[in-house]
Amino acid sequence: MLSKLNKFFSSIKLAIILFILIAAVSIIGTVIDQGDTIAQYKIIYGNTVFHILYWLGFLNIYNSWYFVGLAALLILTMIISSANKLPNIIKNIVDPNTSFDYALKKNSYKAKYITMQSSKSPSEILNFAEKTFGKKFGKPVLKNIGENINHFKSGENEKVQKISSKNGDASNNADNKKNNSGNFLFFSKNSIFRISPNIAHLGAIVILAGVFLGVTLGYRSYTNIKVGQTVQHSYLLKNNNPVLLPFKIKLDNYVTKYYKNGMPKAYISTLTIIKKHITILTKSIRVNHPLTYDGITVYQASYGHYKPNAAQILVLNLKNSNKNNKRLIYAVPGKIYNSKINNIKFSFNFFKHPAKDQIPFYISVIKNDKTVSSPLVFQELPYRTKKGNMPLFFAKYNDNIAFIFAGIKTYYYSGVEITKNVDTDIVWIGSAILIFALFFSFFFNQQSLWVRVTSSENEKINKVEILSVPHKKFASFYSMMDRLTEILKKQIL
């Protein structure tokens, strides 16, 4: 039972089916908008369809039990298949089975097997073979038909010949049984990289583990802060539940910078982090430039007005410079304000079609709910505001009342996203492992080569067998082998 389960979970077919299912579920998530409100869904799909989609989990599909389940199953298959293959792979790297006959039998579907005969001596043949194949396959090991491994060094050919055939193994093939005097070279290139697919799987497991950790321990939240306001709560993106932050955030200032054509260039919030009444730091954040403190990152996400823009209008009584005869009013266009100076009410307005070079706004003075004057037109004063160096505009009513326009007051809030990421570093480590492992597994393929020389009875004619096993059935590998074999042939025939 256990072995059946083991086989089931480590099969590539299961992995492929899981891949396809994950892709299919993901597609549903892109066709049906995720994260809309219930009211929006009901408008789009109608009540019945909404309930069906809700029941199927299609409206929050990436958090649905089956999507998470598919991902978990994928992790399980990766772990089990790697665990099954790993001991074998490690054994192959550390102590490979170099048996010629075993390799021939096991890799018959992709191996290239060539035989030829040569009148040269076995040591000469092996020497030529080492020189010919060494460039592509690296340094070989020399083995006799027994299992003794000797590192093959040039110049030690005589020693090679003396390797005893007493250790000959009876399990070798019929040819060898006939004559027990045979040696072979074993070349193995890039065998260490056989482990890279498993490391790639490890990378993917680390990424997914990081994601699971992030979903359970981290959060993504959102809050709007008015300029000057201090907050300590934000609201989760997924359900709007409040989160208590470990520090307070104050929005000192918010500015939108514009290009000449009016398109926004940058959104800049100046934030101060306050912990236990102590100012920790002040920093300006922009898109692509967040602030991180205490494991929590604050991003610029949006902005807006919490009140309409207002004109700063200073109303003055010119005949009486008493303190009570001066008042600053923030006037929203079109609204009526009581200046409390001589009981004068007024509204601040814009001309619909201002003439060229005309100042585009004016004041209407109102008494008893009626506009009593023609529009009071502004004139520019030769002074500027201390703050911001803005021009001042002046309009007069009945010789004694003056209205001074001192700029526009905006009421901004800044929308910030506040996230706690416990997982990002894990995800980046997993990604790095995955990418490096993919690189090595794609471009450093294992290739093995055996060159076996068996002598006939009188040692006049030797049989040379060349067995090459590529990692994959690549035409280029076979053509390279053909080329190298031709070179060897010319040398030993």
Partner 1 sequence: MIHMNASILDGSFYFTISLLMIIISFIGYFIYMFTTNKLASTASFVIVLAAFALQTFAFIIRWRYSYQIGIYIPPLIDLYDSLVFFAYVILFGFILLKLFYNFNSLGFIMTFISICALGFATFYPLSTSTIEPYIIPALKSYWLLYHIISLFLAYGAFAAAFGIGILFLIKYNQTNKYNKDKDVKQSSKKINPIKKIASVIFYPFILLYKQFILLSPSIDILDEAIYKVVVFGFLFLSIGIVIGAAWADNAWGGYWSWDPKETWSLITWITYAVFIHARLTKGWNEKKMAWIAVIGFIVVICTYLGVDLLIPGLHSYISPGAAPVL
When asked if residue 66 is in the footprint of partner 1 (CB under 8 A), the reply is: no
Binding mask 443-472 for partner 1 (x = CB under 8 A): -----------------------------x
Binding residues with partner 1: total (CB under 8 A): 55
Distance in Å, CB of 51 to partner 1, minimum: 23
Q: Given phi > 0 = left and psi -120 to 50 = alpha, else beta, which region is 82?
A: alpha
Binding mask 374-413 for partner 1 (x = CB under 8 A): ----------------------------------------
Q: Are 471 and 92 in contact (CB under 8 A)?
A: no
When asked if residue 434 is in the footprint of partner 1 (CB under 8 A), the reply is: yes
User: Which listed residue (417, 429, 444, 491) binds partner 1 by CB under 8 A?
Assistant: 417
When asked if residue 72 is in the footprint of partner 1 (CB under 8 A), the reply is: no
User: Which listed residue (104, 141, 211, 366) binds partner 1 by CB under 8 A?
Assistant: 211
User: Which listed residue (241, 288, 322, 374) binds partner 1 by CB under 8 A?
Assistant: 288
- Between 220 and 327, name the residue whose CB sits nearer to partner 1: 220
User: Which listed residue (287, 318, 328, 461) binds partner 1 by CB under 8 A?
Assistant: 287
3-state secondary structure 131-165: HHHHHHHCCCEEEECCCCEEECCCCCHHHHHHCCC
When asked if residue 327 is in the footprint of partner 1 (CB under 8 A), the reply is: no
Distance in Å, CB of 200 to partner 1, minimum: 9
The interface region with partner 1, picked from 143-151, 238-246, 289-297, 373-381 by CB under 8 A, is 289-297
- Between 40 and 117, name the residue whose CB sits nearer to partner 1: 40
Residue ranges in contact with partner 1 by CB under 8 A:
12-13, 15-16, 19-20, 22-23, 26-27, 29-30, 34, 62, 211, 220, 259-261, 263-267, 286-290, 297, 299-303, 415, 417-419, 421, 424, 427-428, 431, 434-435, 438-439, 442, 472-476, 478
